[in-house]
Amino acid sequence: MINKSSSRPLISLRHITRDVNTSKDNVRRLLKNVSWELQEGQRVGVIADSMLEAHALLDCAAGITTPQRGHVSIRSHVSWPVGAKGGLSSALSGRQNARFLQGVYGHGGQQRNDLDQIERLADLERGYFDKPLKSYNKYMRARFYLAVSLAFDFDVYVIPQQSAWKTNTNSEKILRLQKALKDRTSGKTILMTNTDFSFLEQFCDDGLVLDQGSIAYSGTFSECRAWYEVNINKA
């Protein structure tokens, strides 16, 4: 177990401002001058009324989006947001996409095992692992994106909200993915968000609350949840 008192910052955000264009060509500010650090060994759940704001924080922390202002410093091997499509090609088959990612993130001599794991975890219909991603229905695509995200080892896992991450499910396929998430992230540093706070609580010890693009509160996850319920989610 990592001693947090002697831990080091793995991701640092310095005065981050993140804007997006809306459908009406207006600019919406998602993050406002945010400064924060993710320490080695922390497992942080982000609570927010707006998943756009929460995902903006996660995307900047993962290094997949560039803020309009401020600086992000990453000092570790950070995952792409778990379950995101990323740079996968819809014209290639699941196996071809998985083989490409294994060549980038996997270890030599483990390709067959990694591909077998991805195929098993994605639980596609028969023969679809060798068909183009564009032929998958949305449920198969979602499971495939999650399966490839969980196949490789990282120091930090960035975990946005996904339909599979919920407590009230009886689906064997989803439960299998949830177990894989717990196994893969065990002992790892985590930055995670979800509107299902009970699911977040299974993974996160610490938390922070985003409100109107700024960090309104931070502390243990239970403290953040209670503060959010009293001060923001009064209804």
Give bridge partners of residue 11 from the DSSP assignment.
38, 74
**From CA 85, how far away is CA 195, in angstroms rounded?**
21
Provide the percentage of residues in the chain whose pLDDT is more than 70.
97
Report pLDDT digits (tens) over 180-199: 999 999 999 999 999 999 99
**From CA 65, how far away is CA 205, in angstroms rounded?**
26
**From CA 209, how far away is CA 233, in angstroms rounded?**
11
Q: Which residues fall within 8 angstroms of residue 164, CB to CB, at 6 or more apart? A: 83, 142, 143, 146, 174, 177, 178
pLDDT at 108: 85
Q: Per-residue confidence at 164, pLDDT binned at 50, 70, 90?
A: very high
Report pLDDT digits (tens) over 123-158: 999 999 999 999 999 999 999 999 999 999 999 999
CB of 178 closer than 8 Å to CB of 199: no
Decide if pLDDT at 234 tops 80: no
